[in-house]
Structures are given as C-alpha cells and as structure tokens.
Amino acid sequence: MPALFEAVPRRCPFGKAVPTAEGALQVAMEHLPVTLRGAQCLVLGYGRIGKLLSHRLQGLEARVTVAARKYGDLAWAEAYGLRALPINRLSGTLGRMQVIFNTVPSLILDRGLLSEAAPSCLCVELASRPGIDLEAAEELGLTAIWARGLPGKTAPVTAAAAIRDTLYHILEERGEPV
C-alpha cells in the first residue's frame, strides 16, 4: 500500500461522509460574514452526512436544527441535544436560519419555501441531486452553493481511501482476493 494511504485506516465506516461534512463547514466559513458559533443552522436530512455535520456544527456551538422524515431520526437528534423538526413542517422556520445545509437528494426547498428565507441566508447543497432549488435561491438573492465533489477537494487522500475501501468491499462480496 502506498505510504500516502498509511495515515488513513482501512475500512473507515463512514466513507466519504466525514470529508463531506468537514468540507461543508469549510464552505460555510468561507462564505459567512459571521462565525458558525451562535449561527442558526438547518441541516436537511439525518443520514450519515447529516449526522456528522450536525454534530460538528454543535461542537462549534452553532444552533443546529435537524429536519428529517423519520421520527426515529428526529428522536435521535433530540437525544443528542439538537433541535428536531419534521421535514414537512419547514414553513415558518426558514426566516431565522443563517445557513441551510441539504443532504437529501430530492427537492425539499422549492421557490415557495426559499422565499421565506432571510436574504442573507447561505444555502449549501451537499446532495448528488439538488434538494434545494438552486436557481430559485439565486433568483431570490440567496447565496446558493452546490458543493459537489467536496471529499476530493477538501481531503483527497481520505476520499481516495474511501474509494479504495469500496472497491475492497466489492471484491470481498464477490469472493475475490483483496
């Protein structure tokens, strides 16, 4: 194994979720005129990326609200000290958000909901297919960033190791030597 990968343990259980979450923080810090400490942040989705991102934001003392579909996810978010909101009840809550991070790969924030956001709100799209109507966000004057490829941009060695591990998993499932 090349020395470059020695610092990255094999079989990282979160794959590219860690560099995506950390890259999302970097994007927010680069585009916000304030610190994340005390900032009202909304994380759409509480899967691997949503969980990691929410907890990192919490560690930076941001005020984190998680919006999710499943009540089990909402319960876990609350158990970890995060605000929880059913994703179908976003209306009326977006006006106080300073940053919205989306991890859901289907349209959640359409023009109607985005029109409720403050003009200074930063929208960071992390999903492969937009959950934020980025065109509508820009037309409404919101700063909207589709942060594609964050793992490779912010932590290329870690991202490569995640791809390596995925290939190893495929080979093992096929019964081929690794």
Q: Kindly indicate the confidence band of residue 2, based on its pLDDT and cuts at 50, 70 and 90.
A: low
- At 4 the pLDDT is 55
Helix-helix angle 48-59:17-31, to 10 degrees: 50
The full 3-state SS of 26-39, as one line of letters, equals: HHHHHHCCCCCCCC
- At 152 the pLDDT is 63
Question: How many angstroms separate the CA atoms of 22 and 9, rounded?
Answer: 18
Q: Is 5 exposed, middle or buried (0-12, 13-18, 19+ CB in 10 A)?
A: middle
- Does the pTM of the predicted model rise above 0.75? yes
- Name 104's bridge partners: none
- At 94 the pLDDT is 97
What does the domain layout of the chain look like in residue ranges?
A: 14-150
Q: Kindly indicate the confidence band of residue 11, based on its pLDDT and cuts at 50, 70 and 90.
A: low
Whether 77 has a pLDDT exceeding 70, the answer reads yes
Question: How many angstroms separate the CA atoms of 5 and 169, rounded?
Answer: 17
90-126 pLDDT, tens digit per residue, is 999 999 999 999 999 999 999 999 999 999 999 999 9
CATH number for domain 14-150, candidates 1.10.3720.10, 3.40.50.300, 3.40.50.720, 1.10.10.10: 3.40.50.720
Structure tokens of 108? 């959640």
